[in-house]
Amino acid sequence: MLLEDLIKTFIASLKIQKGYSIHTVRSYQNDLNQFLKFLGSEIGELEDKKASLKADMVDRLVIRKYLGSLYGHLTRTTIARKLSAIRSFFLFLEKSGVIGVNPASDILTPRLGKYIPSYLSVDEVFRLLERPEKQKPLGLRDLAILEVLYSCGLRVSELESMNISNIDFEERLVKIIGKGNKERIVPIGRQALDAVMAYMDATQGLRKDSGTESPDTPLFINFRGGRLSSRSIARIMKRYAKESGLTPDISPHSMRHTFATHLLNGGADLRSVQEFLGHVSLSTTQKYTHVSLDRLMEVYDRAHPRSRLE
């Protein structure tokens, strides 16, 4: 079986057996197709070089050569992700009996720098939330997007996939379908809920015309009535960040970091924040604790007997 076909089988298994989200599957597919293209230039023999490639033609040396070609062009984090995709693919082939040994198993992951999430201060968030024009339907939509991101700490893919039925307006709860199709319930703040209701009221006509007014239709829609994409949400975020005089690096994920940071600074425990964010491992959530260091030092200096000066 050709390598190109094996990749298609692997990708199908991620969708069906693993239940990975469309964004994760797309990422695996892009990474493996890029690797396949590299292999075609390195060891392919036919005019359509990918058509000649088989799994047993790939060894650890060619994988290392591929990773080496990425340095200087991509970050270490991105290279580590691409290696992870290759390693997972060949592990799948090994478990399926297609190959005897995973050629990527003993290749070391690039050493990663300590990742410190970007986040906004409370004042910066408030400044951002003041930018959308509340007199216009699109402004109300954008305000609702920003409010929900900050109130619930969602991934942009989770926000994109939200339907009207995901929100329990009476109980102030939101049902989220996260990574691996795992479901979690998170609270939503009153101001975010008010922003969503104002947005829905302003778009009743558009929803009726486009047939997106039932509870099982998208919550956030574009001007044609279709589901708003993650890319569009990111553009909206960057536009308001620029207008607010904030760094252009601000993204929807920055609001997720901000949500976690402000909860921890407000006294929330790490386990609760883990549940809100939908992290499987507590260690993933712990990367946010650095931002509370100043607050912790204040508490320490105020409370510890050997820290206070006489």
Q: How confident is the model at residue 182 (pLDDT cuts 50, 70, 90)?
A: confident
Residue 277: its pLDDT value, please? 87
The encoded tokens of residue 116 equal: 């410190």
Among 104-108, 273-277, 288-292, which is the least confidently predicted range?
288-292
Among 38-42, 117-121, 131-135, which is the least confidently predicted range?
117-121
Domain range summary for the chain, segments of one domain joined by +? 3-95, 122-297
Q: How confident is the model at residue 215 (pLDDT cuts 50, 70, 90)?
A: confident
Look at residue 46 and tell me whether its pLDDT is greater than 50: no
Residue 151: its pLDDT value, please? 93
Which position has the token pair 């609702």? 144
Which letter, b or e, does each residue of 33-65 get, where b requires 16 or more Cβ atoms within 10 Å of its Cβ?
Answer: eebbebbbeeebeeeebbebbebeebeeebbee
Look at residue 193 and tell me whether its pLDDT is greater than 60: yes
Residue 250: its pLDDT value, please? 86
pLDDT in tens, 5-23: 999 999 999 888 877 778 7
Look at residue 272 and tell me whether its pLDDT is greater than 60: yes
Q: Is 133 exposed, middle or buried (0-12, 13-18, 19+ CB in 10 A)?
A: exposed
Q: Between 150 and 295, whose confidence is greater?
A: 150
Beta bridge partners of 218: 163
Residue 90: its pLDDT value, please? 92
Q: How far is CA 245 from CA 40, 159, 226, in A?
A: 46, 25, 31
Mean pLDDT, range 152-161, rounded to an integer: 92
Q: How confident is the model at residue 47 (pLDDT cuts 50, 70, 90)?
A: very low
**122-297, which class in CATH?**
mainly alpha
Mean pLDDT, range 220-245, rounded to an integer: 91
Mean pLDDT, range 29-39, rounded to an integer: 92
pLDDT in tens, 53-83: 888 888 889 999 999 999 888 888 889 899 9
Pick among 3.30.200, 1.10.150, 1.10.1060, 3.30.70: CATH of 3-95: 1.10.150
The encoded tokens of residue 125 equal: 């968030």
Residue 310: its pLDDT value, please? 46
Look at residue 213 and tell me whether its pLDDT is greater than 90: no
Q: Between 265 and 230, whose confidence is greater?
A: 230
What would the 3-class secondary structure string for 41-100 be? HHHCCCCCHHHHCEHHHCCHHHHHHHHHHHECCECHHHHHHHHHHHHHHHHHHHHCCCCC
Question: What rounded mean pLDDT belongs to the chain?
Answer: 85
Is the whole-model pTM more than 0.85?
Answer: no
Catalytic residues: 155, 179, 253, 256, 279, 288
Residue 106: its pLDDT value, please? 84
Cβ proximity of 35 and 27 under 8 Å: no
Q: Between 45 and 302, whose confidence is greater?
A: 302
